[in-house]
Chains A and B, each alone.
Chain A
Amino acid sequence: MSEEKHHIVSYRTHAFVLLALLVLTGISVAITQLEMGPMNTLAAMIIAGIKAAIVLAWFMHLKFESRFFAFMVSAVVVVFLLVLLVTFFDYSYR
């Protein structure tokens, strides 16, 4: 038997999280219909990042798990961003 205590997230919280995600989806669709040049992509990526953070924190329970899980996820995100950065350095200075 498992001895660990589990945090039970209420149905209400889940419903609010979904509502927030849907509102953000609506905002990103609306914002990209405007002509803002490269700012469109930046705005869409910032909103996607916020949505991803919400999914990770609430739906994937990172907020309620040991901090170590959140640390590991952050490490993977940093690795990804570094690879992206290094790749662009390579392509920009050829």
Chain B
Amino acid sequence: MTVHRDDLGDKMGMWLFIFTELLLFGMLFVVYAVYRSMHPEAFKLGGDELDVVMGTINTIILLISSMTVAMSISAMQKGNKKLALTLLTITLIIAVVFLVNKYFEWGAKFEYGFNPGAPELLELGHGTILFFGLYFIMTGIHALHILIGIALFIYVVWQIRKDKIHQTDYVWLENTGLYWHLVDLIWIFLFPLFYLIH
């Protein structure tokens, strides 16, 4: 008996999910755009408080992790299970490093009292409160996606080890890759909009 499979349908379903994610973040970008146009000075000052070096490092490692996932799919298509696993492990490590960086970044912001509800922040005026509110919500939802990505990668690595995902059936790996590139795509816009305003 042959099992019916529809890889194209699976991928299309993943893309439809990605569209809902793009619109979720898209609407947050709309909110950002409106508030920034209303409080340009406060957003500029807020952006100056963010660590450009840390943001750049996270951008670079996230781009590298996107490449390692894309390469792991090529490796899987060529039947190189070992290389695919190695590349996915590198991706997993990078995802964890990204979150560790985020932890220190957020920690520093909490120390300076820029976290939502901090008395120091409340004295800084409307625009600054909006800037840091959006910063924490948008990078927070993005970090949540990184966390979900880590869980997905652990599952995919486990399935590859068990040969449930293999050279002729790897749509799970492909869709997890698509999800990870989405996370990268969002960061490509978050980074300049928050860290690079001058």
Contacts and interface: CB of A to CB of B under 8 A. Distances in A.
B59 A80 contact: no
Say what secondary structure dominates the interface of chain A: helix
Report whether over half of chain B's contact residues are helix, strand or loop; otherwise say mixed.
Answer: helix
B78 A8 contact: yes
Interface residues of A, number: 46
B30 A1 contact: no
Contacts of A65: 11
A83 B34 CA distance: 12
A44 B192 contact: yes
Interface of B: 2, 5, 7-8, 11-12, 15, 19, 22-23, 26-27, 29-30, 33-34, 37-38, 52, 56, 59-60, 63-64, 66-67, 69-71, 73-74, 77-78, 168-169, 177-178, 181, 184-185, 188-189, 191-193, 196-198
A84 B67 contact: no
Interface of A: 1-2, 4, 6, 8-11, 14-15, 17-18, 21-22, 25, 28-29, 32-33, 35, 40-41, 44-45, 47-48, 51-52, 55-56, 58-60, 65-66, 69, 72-73, 76, 79-80, 83-84, 87-88, 91
